Amino acid sequence: MRILGLVASYRKMGNSEVLAREALLAARELGAEVALIRLTDLHVEPCKGCMACLFKGELCRIEDDVDWFMNQLLESDGVVLSSPTYILSPPGIVKMLIDRMIPLQDSDKIRELAERGRVGVVMGVATNPREWAPFTLPMLKMFLQVAQIRVIGSMLVEAAGPGEVVLDEKAMNRARGLGVALVDAIEGKEVGEEQGLYACPACRCDLLRWLGNGTVECPLCGIKGKITMKNGKIAIEFPEEQINTCRWKPEMAIKHTQEEILPTATEYVKKLKLIKQKLSRYQETSIETLRPETR
């Protein structure tokens, strides 16, 4: 049993790393093999959007640390992902790595990863979690879901100065509990994150989008629910058939790849001549492109 800790902070031994280490220590006490990677130690280039990994089945040609990181991630049975909050959300390294996970959307890869039944937990830290961290947990959960890792627990805690979270006994205990939950889940025990009153039943996020006509949607999972009144109180009901349409379920992710992404290659070829004709207008019009002198 191998559990990998991922820390998305530029502060060594900052609050995010402390929480991750506490969870890993709890898991190790139960017999797990543990290791930690600071994502900010990696050399990660941006995805170029060429889509050769999906359309042609080619290996990514970008030379950086992502292949090494993916191997570490895919070889783990459980993952602890911990991050600070910058402007309402995790640091950019999280999104950079999410973008580089496009090869994992290959249909065969989705099936392979889903069959392994891996699990993960996410941890967020913010100075003011209630008011200034709405996207932290959703983005961390997306990071794991893209890799077909089921999120079984999360926490978002208040801490500002480097390492001060060690003074928060409740937060430290919660981190240990998540480490224990990972081991339990890997060993086949049923564990799951508690659902809030207005949370998505699939990802447990309470970030919902209003669609009108009493309908809301989880932007992370794509599940739709109806706002109702029960005993004089507002409630949200998510039908079972909607839960089964979560975009991260293997069958839905495969459908997206096969029916929405891959066909665009053929359609693009059909349109290419017209696209080039219309693009010529911009190539013939001179607009100064600004770059730093060092570039």
Q: Could you read off the pLDDT of 109-150 as tens digits, one per residue? A: 999 999 999 999 999 999 999 999 999 999 999 999 999 999
Supply the CATH number for residue 88's domain.
Answer: 3.40.50.360
User: How much is the pLDDT for 90?
Assistant: 98
Per the structure, the count of domains in the chain is 1
Confidence of residue 191 (pLDDT cuts 50, 70, 90): confident
* 18 domain-assigned: yes
- % the chain with pLDDT above 90: 83
275 assigned to some structural domain: no
What distance in Å separates the CA atoms of residue 162 and residue 75, rounded to the nearest whole number?
Answer: 31
| pLDDT of amino acid 295 | 62
The pLDDT value given to residue 172: 98
Q: Residue 143: give the domain boundaries.
A: 2-193
Place of tokens 């109180």: 233
Residue 247 within any structural domain of the chain: no
Residue 34 to residue 22: CA distance in whole angstroms: 11
Structure-derived torsion over alpha carbons of residues 266, 272, 278, 283, reported in degrees to the nearest 10: 120
Please name which of 80, 84, 85 lies closest in space to residue 177, comparing C-alpha atoms.
Answer: 80
Q: Per the domain annotation, does 289 fall within a domain?
A: no
207 domain residue, yes or no: no
Asked if the structure places residue 100 within a domain, the reply is yes
Picking from 206, 11, 183, the residue whose alpha carbon sits closest to that of residue 80 is 183
In-domain check, residue 186 = yes
| Residue 288 is assigned to a structural domain of this protein | no
